[in-house]
Amino acid sequence: MHDVSALGANIPALGFGTFRMPDADVHRILPAALKIGFRHVDTAQIYKNEQAVGDVLKSSGIPRQDIFLTTKVWVDRVGHDAFIASVDESLAKLKTDYVDLLLLHWPQSEMPLADRIGALNDLRKAGKVKNIGVSNFSTALMAEAVKLSDAPIVNNQVEYHPYLDQTKVLAEAAKTGMSVTAYYLMADGAVPKDEVLKDIGAKHGKTAAQVVLRWAVQQKDVIALSKTATESRLPENFEVFDFALSEEEMQAVHKLARPNGRIVSPGHLAPDWDK
């Protein structure tokens, strides 16, 4: 596996996501993911599983510095003190002195963006976070966040899969050296059933899911989050570095994008998306 280097952050290109993963599943599947070789773990305050993630990482025997750990601050942490306190709570649950990457989970909040970015910077100065970033930000908000921050904004974590064109977000990220983390890569179960993706996979002895994970990590400065609660699928998700897609195959995947491809867009949280 390679790392994506972005403004001083070295982020393993393939991460293990824990969205909608109850504690019991985290305790069962995350140890197996670590055993197979995953070293990038993604969680969030709103997932309600930071404690379980912390338990597994603490008991894994893997040195803390060998894990890249991401969490995200929820939108209701309003006011500087409440924001900082929530991160201290996350660190306690995660059983660590720092996280490698702390993201603002969604752009909409009663706390102004300037104040939230200021809090991220203070946490970085205090050594509680190594790197700061955002999630679900449009290109306009990405540019605004960069302007507001003293420290580099190293990542924007967004929905990205073959049916959603994120060219504009990727171009905006490239302007400042920011990386992009792709979530929902399986497009709510559409990817494994896609005939185009299955055909490409057949040429490489790979599944449609592996094709899409490979498509993501083969793009410059893109990190892919994979997620499964099924242990037998872990090797499939991890084994995407032993083949490469041709330029023609990469384009064939890109061509699956459609205007209504976005799946995740809660009205009270989402920005005005790029058209």
> Is 105 annotated among the ligand-binding residues?
yes
Dihedral sign of CA atoms 139, 255, 5, 27 in order: positive
* DSSP H or E run through 217: helix 208-217
Q: How many residues does the chain have?
A: 275
Terminal Cα-to-Cα distance of the chain (whole angstroms): 33
Dist CA 103 CA 169 (whole Å): 16
- 47 annotated active-site: yes
Active-site residue, from 47, 160, 163, 183: 47
- Rounded Cα distance between 90 and 71, Å, is 8
Rounded distance between C-alpha atoms, residue 177 and residue 192, angstroms: 32
Please report the beta strands in the chain, taking only residues with DSSP state E, as ranges in sequence order: 3-6, 9-12, 14-17, 40-42, 68-73, 99-104, 129-135, 153-159, 179-183, 222-226
Active site (catalytic) residues:
47
Binding-site residues for substrate, please? 105
